[in-house]
Chain A
């Protein structure tokens, strides 16, 4: 059965690429969510630091997002 699955995947990369993109989105979502939550908490604790926190949160989100986007790009690669 597993051999049939592998053959299926090998002949038709489309669905597996979508799964890959989905997994990447999950990882990115968790990362961005954690940063967002922590940033919100920090802003609530120290509202005077809001501007600084906003800036660094955006940059950190960009870093996390890049990892997820690598996944998306790999699925582009596979999907053609």
Chain B
């Protein structure tokens, strides 16, 4: 029975001792110890996190570089393509223009030739007409110099007229 009857004195001293211990240790031991451990853990965590962040940034940087390179390549490609297009277009344009001007020249030349030809033909015609009139004049003069011949002509003419 003695064993399980708590003594007042010991309860008192235990309570006092424990509370003193709790107070002193809480203030001068647990607080600095847990604080130090927490700070250390926090700093380790921070270090790990910053390393992770650096790594991620590094990755980002490489990805960026890659992207920029890609873009540059694409741009060059586009520029080349454009240049090629311009070249072909220019060539085509030049060709077209040349052809057009040639055509125009040909047409002009043809027109000039045509008009020259027309003028030449007209001159020829007029010369032929005047020549034939002259000849006709001479022939008529010679034909109509004697009476026989005049008669014969009338007869021929009349003969032709009946034939008609």
Interface, chain A (partner B; CB < 8 A): 73, 76-77, 80
Question: How far, in whole Å, are A73 and B1 apart by their CA atoms in the complex?
Answer: 9
Query: Nearest B residue to A80 by beta-carbon distance?
Result: B1
Given A76-B4, A77-B4, 6 other A-B residues pairs in contact with their CB atoms under 8 A: A73-B4, A76-B1, A76-B3, A77-B1, A80-B1, A80-B2
What count of chain B residues pass the 8 Å CB interface test? 4
Interface, chain B (partner A; CB < 8 A): 1-4
Residues of chain B within 8 A (CB-CB) of A77 are 1, 4
Question: How far, in whole Å, are A32 and B4 apart by their CA atoms in the complex?
Answer: 25
Question: How far, in whole Å, are A73 and B86 apart by their CA atoms in the complex?
Answer: 106
Q: How far is the CB of A9 from chain B (nearest CB, A)?
A: 17
Q: How far is the CB of B70 from chain A (nearest CB, A)?
A: 46
Query: Nearest A residue to B2 by beta-carbon distance?
Result: A80
Question: How far, in whole Å, are A49 and B138 apart by their CA atoms in the complex?
Answer: 148
